[in-house]
Amino acid sequence: MLNQTHEYQSCIQSSERVSWRIDELLPKDTELDFSRRFLSDALTGTEGISCLSTEEKLMLNQIRSNSYAHLFLFLEEYAVALAAQRAGLELHGNPTHMRALLRFTEEELKHQQLFSRYTTAFARGFKVAPALLDNQVEVARAIMTKSNLGVLIFNLHMELMTQQHYVETMRDNARESLDPLFNNMLKHHWLEEAQHTRLDFLEAQKILAQEPESLGAALVEYGELLQALRGTLNAQLQLDLQTFEKAAARPFTDAERKEIFEAQERSYVYGFIGMGMKAPLFLSRLRALSPVAEQRVLELAPEYYCN
């Protein structure tokens, strides 16, 4: 059994150092600035849609950004379950491991509350009521039917991707026109996710030290979770397009609808799946778990616009 207690202790210390309060980031009565883009085009894929006017591109960027916040709230439902389950396994075991995992759990609950506050502020200020998925508990339960190792690998992907999202925002060509409030939210989300990625890795190592043969099945589950995520993203995309048509208040032709759908499908899949698979730190962490794990992800990557 690996003794990694100093690593867990270091996660607690880092978590204490970067910890923030929701009220500092997003006071309750915040009014969003709808004159700005919220997320980088690298994550919304709106700028290249030729049939849209400048105002429509801005509106679709904002709808996508709101869905981004909502999807993290949505996905963190399973992350709370995962972290709480891992923490529970250390009850009467290693208190340092348990404390680090309980902080992880608490932070994910806090992130959900932050994103929920954001989507509430968005709904208050946007011209139409945005349509958002509401089956997060059902999805979290389905994810948690997989092995802890499969879900930890999937979670490592999701959490390292939040760093990629922040980096993409910093690289945006017209960064000064992006909303600083949303940038700040991405930054602070990543600051806490950074510790979670270390804990995902440590917990995965813990499982592999006890059951090295479980890796193959966990990698199959990781692939299944990506497919399921693709379905969820597609469902949210259909809702985004409903919201967009209402907000744009003009009928789109079939050809326009097709162009918008295809651009958005590609953007969603790359932004939430491909970008995570390509994250250098994700690949190096997998390699450290087992070269087989990295190899499997590289084989799957082209399916997600990630060549």
List of residues contacting Fe ion (CB under 5 A): 111, 159, 193, 196
Q: Provide the minimum distance between the beta carbon of 111 and Fe ion in the complex, in angstroms, as a whole number.
A: 4
Q: Provide the minimum distance between the beta carbon of 48 and Fe ion in the complex, in angstroms, as a whole number.
A: 29
In this complex, which beta carbon is closest to Fe ion, that of residue 97 or of residue 111?
Answer: 111
Q: Distance (Å, rounded) from C-alpha 153 to C-alpha 65?
A: 26
In this complex, which beta carbon is closest to Fe ion, that of residue 79 or of residue 263?
Answer: 79
- 52 Cβ contact partners less than 8 Å away, ≥ 6 residues apart: 46, 60, 260
Of 7, 72, 18, nearest to 191 (Cα)? 18
Q: Do 63 and 130 touch, CB atoms closer than 8 A?
A: yes
Q: Provide the minimum distance between the beta carbon of 197 and Fe ion in the complex, in angstroms, as a whole number.
A: 8
Q: Distance (Å, rounded) from C-alpha 40 to C-alpha 163?
A: 14
In this complex, which beta carbon is closest to Fe ion, that of residue 70 or of residue 111?
Answer: 111
Q: Provide the minimum distance between the beta carbon of 252 and Fe ion in the complex, in angstroms, as a whole number.
A: 35
In this complex, which beta carbon is closest to Fe ion, that of residue 10 or of residue 242?
Answer: 10
Q: Do 37 and 128 touch, CB atoms closer than 8 A?
A: no
Of 186, 167, 271, 182, nearest to 229 (Cα)? 271
Q: Distance (Å, rounded) from C-alpha 86 to C-alpha 105?
A: 9
- 45's torsion region: left (phi>0), alpha (psi -120 to 50) or beta? left
Q: Provide the minimum distance between the beta carbon of 109 and Fe ion in the complex, in angstroms, as a whole number.
A: 9
Sign of CA dihedral 272, 274, 277, 280: negative
In this complex, which beta carbon is closest to Fe ion, that of residue 64 or of residue 196?
Answer: 196
Q: Provide the minimum distance between the beta carbon of 199 and Fe ion in the complex, in angstroms, as a whole number.
A: 9
In this complex, which beta carbon is closest to Fe ion, that of residue 179 or of residue 193?
Answer: 193
